[in-house]
Chain A
Amino acid sequence: MQELRELARKLLQEKQVSAILGYEHGRMGTRPAFVTDVADCERLVFDHRCVHNLAAYLSPRRTHVAALGRLAVVVKSCDARAVAGLIRESQIKREDVVLIGVRCGGVVRDPADARPLSADNVAPRCVDCEKREPALADHLVGEPKPAPAGSGSRDARLSEIEAMSPDERLTLWTQLLAPCTRCHACRQVCPMCFCERCIAEKTQPTWIETSPHARGNLAWHLTRALHLAGRCVDCGECERACPAEIPLGLLNRKVARVVADRYGYVVADDPSRPTPIGTYQLDDAQEFIQ
């Protein structure tokens, strides 16, 4: 952590950036921190409670953050995928942000979780993480860490659902989406949901009803999952932010699996790789087309 703080101080002192976007310990656990003064760099931390995906703050639509000026952002390898996505889709320029990569040994699910990291509280995505440091980074801090302990396939529930009949699945998803109040927290915390005008806000005509009934909720969640095809970085923030405990990760992971199986594409922190939607191959599989 001292390495991180010293780097942050240096970046501010040399005026390479106007602010550091990292993590700090708040009263309720770790949370995002915006540091503009050299003296405040002492607040910066990185530990297994640094769950948040800070790339969400880089969207140019967050004018109050953009007003700070050039930022240095602390990114784990999962977060770096989101930064790569923003660069790939022309939301930010690579040179407009300084990336402080951190070597990560896994994070917990809840930033307020005061227990040490263990198989009981590790975020499921961390167990499968292939490389625990970002390739997309200007600096890399922290000691290399081993893969976190944890077991069980994240996709066991996916397989369970796939084994159901269509009617059972529809009943299940209607139930799972029923408590949705359309707060759109899932969208707001997602780094890849940066549209200035979300399709859910479009009227004349209204494609996705804003009411939190079965019709509106199904349309919203299906559309968001589809719009994230090949773009979702699997940071888990949407599911964490949802106040209604909806397992959004299931939808996003299903779509990610389809994209991986059909097009061999897995989201990585390389901005030069094009997304699968918006590109095509002449010989794409079309077994489902008569």
Chain B
Amino acid sequence: MSAPVTVGDGAFEPSIVAFVCNWCTYTGADLAGTSRILMADNVRIIRLPCTGRIDTLFILKAFERGADGVIVSGCHPADCHYTAGNYHARRRFAIFRELMNFVGIDPRRVTFSWVSASEGGKWAEVVNGTTEQVRQLGPFAMYPEA
């Protein structure tokens, strides 16, 4: 398991993994980039065809392997490229979020969002907001010594 990332003055920099859908959020993130919006660079983006493809195991795996925070983002309801993928995902994430919280994975470490292809600004907000929130929470020790 990787040690928490620190920079220069030893301050903790969170590692954040983002699972985003190709059609909306990925394109929106690209727009944020081409618009030269300043964003925290703590986020690593993983592109999926649709939030419906995002298995809850992806979120768990990210935390397992050292992520301090996770972002899951896709198309707004009614805008899914595959019609209903995000509706299925919505239920799945709603339940898993509460289950994760129940076993002690702080829900503030996981951000869910709908970001469309034209919402570059919103993506920047999600990235910056999540990074700051997770920085405040500190590194995630997922396997405390029992």
A and B touch in the complex (CB under 8 A): yes
Residues of A near any B CB (own CB < 8 A)? 161-162, 166-175, 178, 199, 207-208, 214-215, 218-219, 222-223, 225-226, 229, 251, 254-255, 258-259, 262-263, 276-278, 280-282, 284-286, 288-290
Q: Do A226 and B56 contact each other (CB < 8 Å), given the known contacts A207-B61, A280-B91, A286-B90?
A: yes
Residues of B near any A CB (own CB < 8 A)? 55-57, 60-61, 64, 77-78, 84, 87-88, 90-107, 111-114, 126, 142-144, 146
In the complex, the answer to whether B94 meets A262 with C-beta atoms within 8 Å is yes
In the complex, the answer to whether A289 meets B57 with C-beta atoms within 8 Å is no
Report how far A207 CA is from B65 CA in the complex, Å: 12
In the complex, the answer to whether A166 meets B95 with C-beta atoms within 8 Å is no
In the complex, the answer to whether A208 meets B57 with C-beta atoms within 8 Å is yes
CB closest residue in chain B, given A255: B99
- Residue from B55, B102, B114 whose CB has the most chain A CB atoms within 10 Å: B102
- Give the residues in chain B near A199, CB-CB below 8 Å: 57
B3 smallest CB distance to A (angstroms): 17
- Give the residues in chain B near A168, CB-CB below 8 Å: 104
Report how far A284 CA is from B113 CA in the complex, Å: 15
In the complex, the answer to whether A284 meets B87 with C-beta atoms within 8 Å is yes
In the complex, the answer to whether A259 meets B95 with C-beta atoms within 8 Å is yes
Residue from B64, B98, B103, B113 in contact with A173 in the complex, judged by beta carbons closer than 8 Å: B103
In the complex, the answer to whether B111 meets A290 with C-beta atoms within 8 Å is yes
B115 smallest CB distance to A (angstroms): 8
Report how far A4 CA is from B144 CA in the complex, Å: 53
In the complex, the answer to whether A173 meets B104 with C-beta atoms within 8 Å is yes
In the complex, the answer to whether B99 meets A280 with C-beta atoms within 8 Å is no
- Give the residues in chain B near A229, CB-CB below 8 Å: 95
Q: Do A226 and B144 contact each other (CB < 8 Å), given the known contacts A262-B94, A289-B112, A290-B111?
A: no
Report how far A208 CA is from B77 CA in the complex, Å: 31
- Give the residues in chain A near B56, CB-CB below 8 Å: 222-223, 226
In the complex, the answer to whether B77 meets A219 with C-beta atoms within 8 Å is no
Residue from A170, A254, A277 in contact with B105 in the complex, judged by beta carbons closer than 8 Å: A170
Report how far A281 CA is from B94 CA in the complex, Å: 13
In the complex, the answer to whether B103 meets A282 with C-beta atoms within 8 Å is no
In the complex, the answer to whether B146 meets A289 with C-beta atoms within 8 Å is no
In the complex, the answer to whether B104 meets A258 with C-beta atoms within 8 Å is no
- Residue from B77, B88, B92, B144 whose CB has the most chain A CB atoms within 10 Å: B144
Closest 10 CB pairs of A and B: A170-B104, A169-B104, A280-B87, A290-B113, A166-B106, A214-B143, A173-B103, A289-B112, A258-B98, A175-B146
Report how far A251 CA is from B103 CA in the complex, Å: 9
B98 smallest CB distance to A (angstroms): 5
In the complex, the answer to whether B94 meets A282 with C-beta atoms within 8 Å is no
